[in-house]
Amino acid sequence: MYNPEDNHKVTFEEIVKIAKKLYVPIIAYKESAKSFTTKLSIIHTHLIEYYLNLDFKKDNSEIYEEEEKLLENLNSLFRHNANFNRYLINVARNIRLNCFNNMDFILELNDHILKIGNIGVFRKNIDSRILSINQNLELGEVPLPKLKKRSSETKYNSVKRVTDMLDYDKPDKKLFMHVMYHYPELYECPVSFISSDQDFMKKSNSSLTELNTQNGLDISQIQTIYIYDYFDKPAN
């Protein structure tokens, strides 16, 4: 939702259009902002090096071609971040068009970086974009677990035990644990847990089964959905 160059953006926009209520975990905002800033830190040096030495008085069409060559170079170095590379080049280009010298540009770019890293600002932008697509959507949040009570800690640990059985990526593990920590009390059930990550959905489904088997948790009111079982998957 944040990156207009992301291949999954169109699909999630379609989901937002038809949804009545959407729960977004706080941990999802935090991990997304963290991912953005991590990717940015990787290519930041390349951007700064180019724009610090750029003659801002050159013809815009000439600079545009140089920026496209810079993008090609970034894609060759960091091919897995191609969507993000395009996003950041577009951000840099828009900033450049409103700046008159190198230092003004660097200050504006750094300000953009800081805003991405600010969870509050990042979340506000995401929520605003979601609600601009569907103004009638009820937007809910999945808060971070609060473990001050023994009963809360027991529930959290019961979810953790089943996730420890599988090799989740760390952000995915946190996301599943936070979603299930609040199930079913937080949600208007039945509820769907959706993702564009097929492997994550397979692991989540296995963990749901384990929660039912080991803890007797009624999982009849929640289902995992890999969105490309229902939508056409982007080419890249």
Could you give the CA distance from residue 47 to residue 173 in angstroms, rounded to a whole number?
33
Could you give the CA distance from residue 231 to residue 12 in angstroms, rounded to a whole number?
10
Tell me the angle at which helices 119-133 and 102-117 cross, rounded to the nearest 10 degrees: 80
Which residues, at least 6 apart from 26, have a Cβ–Cβ distance to it below 8 Å?
141, 142, 143, 144, 178
Average pLDDT, the chain: 92
Q: Which of 181, 227, 218, 175 is nearest to 30 (CA)?
A: 175
Least confident range from 35-44, 66-75, 90-99: namely: 35-44
Residues in the chain: 236
Cα 11–chain centre separation: 14
* Confidence grade of residue 236 (pLDDT, cut at 50, 70, 90): low
For residues 212-216, give the mean pLDDT: 92
Q: Say what the pTM is.
A: 0.85
Q: Hey, CA dihedral for 155, 173, 1, 117, is it positive or negative? A: positive
